[in-house]
Structure 1
Amino acid sequence: MYEIILNLHSYWAYLVLFILIIASLNALIKSFAGKEYSAKDFRISLFTLIVSHIQLLIGIILYFVSERFSLWSELGGKVMGNSLARLYLVEHPLVNIIGVALITIGYSKHKKKLTSKAKLRTIAIFYTIALVFILSRIPWQQWF
């Protein structure tokens, strides 16, 4: 079961990154170009929200079924002294939860805006910051 969840988490991450990059670039380009907010923009931002939340749920399940979770009891307070354990047990989960929270906040805030410019700017800011956060804590050595 662990391997299935790990593979699902890893492959779903490609979808999350792909759609988050698309949503961020779309909002940035349309915002700077002064274009109108459309139904397509709404669908892209909503799909980004959905796939990122699914990834978060898969990640939470993986966190608790992973062999690495036992490092909390093995290392005790020394988890922060071990860079690999700190990445997998603290940094990666925390920063990605913050990233998904930023996506959620951006999506919620953009719905309350009345003009296209404000909607696109809100999505661009929150989704781009979330993208930077998520990219900063991906365990790249695990992927390649």
Structure 2
Amino acid sequence: MYAFILALHSLIRWFVLAGLVFALYRAYTGWLGNKPFSKFDNRVRVITATIAHVQLTVGLWLYFISPVVSYFLHHFKEAVHNRQIRFFGMEHITMMLIGITLITIASAKAKRKTTDQEKFKTMAIWLTVALLVILSSIPWSFSPLTSRPLFRAF
């Protein structure tokens, strides 16, 4: 079960990133190009937030069944000094919760704005910050701090 959830979480990350990049593209081109906020833009907003929330759900499930996190929680005094274990036990979940909260705020605030430019601007700013937070906390395969494969097999 753990391996399947881990592979699923790894796969969904690419959908989150693709959704964020596409939503940012729509937001910046709409904002800077003074375009109308269309039904399609609204769908992009909703789908991006939904994918992030699905990833959050899978991530929380993974957090509670992970042997790494279990070790971190049961051996906190030693584990907090181990970079790899601390990353998954504390840093990754904290930063991802912040990132998904920023996506949620972006979606909610944009929905309530009255003008198209305000909607695009709100999405552009909040989603940019969310993307930076998320990118900084993914265990990339090339990271010297905590490295994991880019794709996991089911």
The TM-score bracket by the shorter chain reads over 0.9
CA distance in 1, matches of 2:15, 2:72: 30
1:54 has 2:51 as partner: no
Quote how far apart the aligned CAs of 1:76 are. Answer: 2.0
Provide the residue aligned with 1:138 in structure 2: 138
Provide TM-score, normalisation by structure 1.
Answer: 0.95
The alignment of Structure 1 onto Structure 2 pairs a total of residues equal to 144
Quote how far apart the aligned CAs of 1:143 are. Answer: 2.4
Percent identity, aligned pairs only, is 37
Aligned amino acid, residue 80 of structure 2: M
Quote how far apart the aligned CAs of 1:111 are. Answer: 1.1
Provide the residue aligned with 1:106 in structure 2: 106
Provide the residue aligned with 1:87 in structure 2: 87
Superposition map of 1:4-19 within 5 A: 4-19=4-19
Equivalent residues of 2:107, 2:123 under 8 A apart: yes
What is the CA RMSD across the aligned residues, in angstroms? 1.2
CA distance in 2, matches of 1:26, 1:7: 29
Provide TM-score, normalisation by structure 2.
Answer: 0.89
CA distance in 1, matches of 2:149, 2:29: 29
Cα deviation per residue 1:33-71 (whole Å; 9 max; x = unaligned)? 111111110000100000000000000000111110222
- Structure 1, unaligned runs of 5 or more: none
- Structure 2, unaligned runs of 5 or more: 141-146
